[in-house]
Amino acid sequence: MTSAPSRVARIAALLPDLTPLRGSADFRLLWIQGLIAYFGSMMALVALPLQIKELTGSPLAVGAMGAVELVPLIVFGLYGGALADAVDRRKVILGTEAGLGLLALVLLVNAALPDPLLWPLYLVAGGVSALSGLQRPALDSLMARIVPHDQLTSAAALNSLRWQFGAITGPAVAGLVVAYAGHATAYTVTVFTFAVSVLLCRRLSPAPPARDNAKPSLRGIVEGARYAWSRPVLLGTYAVDMAAMFFAFPNAVFPFLADDLDADWSLGLMYAADSVGSLMLGLTSGWTSRVRRHGLFVVFGAAAWGLAIAAAGWFDNVWLVLVCLAAAGAGDMLSGLGRSTIWNQTIPEELRGRLAGIEVLSYSVGPQLGQVRAGAMAGWTGTRSAIWSGGVACVASVALLTAALPKLLTYDSRTDEDATRRRAQREAEDGPSQASPSGV
């Protein structure tokens, strides 16, 4: 018979590893700040497309948000990566967070008008995309500096838990707030959360560039792109994620899916369901810190995402749809843990910002284009067929990319040349860290 202590030990091994929160004050501060800001962002994420739907009644108009956001994201994401390598990352994070709060204020003012205008909604969507493109490289590149090398997977899991909590509570609350109190109330909450976030960001430690890098330039961006192109493992992480999101990101058509299923009440739950799946995986993510084959996470997680989205488009029972969306979220989180760990384990500090800019494009451009694809295809073939066919295409594309870039599947942090070089770099900066346990 298994002893009680043994059962407790096995359960404890599944729980999230809290070491990064205990050991790094800056990581702890960013975690709390991100939790607050992301909750407010998710409130707006639900209210904004729903407001466009109410003003236009068109799935294409909702999907067009992705097109409006795409160019600013590409331009400012790449520039933000170069900026993060050249200036104090704390200043970038603080300035962009304040800008996002001001854009939320614009949404609030517009919603308070007797007849809200449509064009400010697209203007704010583009502005949020630009500021997010500037901010995310600074945030992402900071992780590898403030968290020890052997705790990066644990830190990624904790960050995902933070995001998923906001992604669950934000849409669920937003759906109720918009239905019973209006868009203006939802945007008011968003403004308040960003105000608190700015105050917390002011307490971050300075994060100057690792060395005297040149000013942000096209040449520096090209240098980062060449490095990424020369690394098949990195290319695999970018390509798999972009393909999965392009073909199987149906969020833009959720308002119409709820109508098709005669379940308007389920809209907030649809936006939150994938985050529930991610949260469940995150709450049992302790085992991921012992895995060393992170490319397996990327591939199998993306394939699971596509299969679950295909099933969500096929079923006509709203509860089965929600279960499928939750399963998709678990697959997406698994893939995200693999991508984040590989990026932080292999990229040298002097290129971290520029590569983080490319990372922003890899996990953001896909969803933006996916919204356009889903909206356009839903208007042409119907909402549910647009969803299930995208899931099937996602699985096929992941299989093709894995065959074309086999090094992604065989990546091992114990033997990969870039990972061992990066580990040595961190040890030279901070001193040797405790040896990591062996794993898969």
Q: List b or e across 72-107, with b for residues whose CB sees 16 or more CB atoms inside 10 angstroms.
A: bbbebbbbbbbbbbbbebbbbbbbbbebbbebbbbb
Phi, psi (degrees; rounded to nearest 5) at 287: -65, -25
CB-based contacts of 2, cutoff 8 Å, min separation 6: none
Query: pLDDT over 70 for what percent of the chain?
Result: 92
What share of the chain in percent tops pLDDT 90? 37
CA-based max dimension of the chain: 70
Measured on CA atoms in the order 64, 137, 399, 277, is the torsion positive or negative? negative
Cβ atoms of residues 282 and 155 within 8 Å: no
DSSP, res 262: T
In angstroms, the CA 197 to CA 202 distance is: 9
Q: For 240-286, what is each residue's pLDDT tens digit?
A: 999 999 999 988 888 889 988 988 888 878 888 888 898 888 888 77
User: For residue range 46-98, what is the model confidence (pLDDT) as tens digits?
Assistant: 888 889 988 998 878 887 887 788 888 888 988 988 888 888 999 999 999 99
Asked whether residue 402 carries a pLDDT value surpassing 70, the answer given is yes
Do the beta carbons of residue 18 and residue 290 sit within 8 Å?
A: no
Task: With cut-offs at 50, 70 and 90, classify the pLDDT of residue 115.
Answer: very high
Cβ 421 vs Cβ 428: under 8 Å: no
Burial of 262 (0-12, 13-18, 19+ CB in 10 A): exposed
Using only the alpha carbons of the chain, give its radius of gyration: 21
Q: Tell whether the torsion through CA atoms of 167, 173, 174 and 176 is positive or negative.
A: positive
Q: Are 95 and 238 in contact (CB under 8 A)?
A: no
Provide the token pair at 42: 């998710």
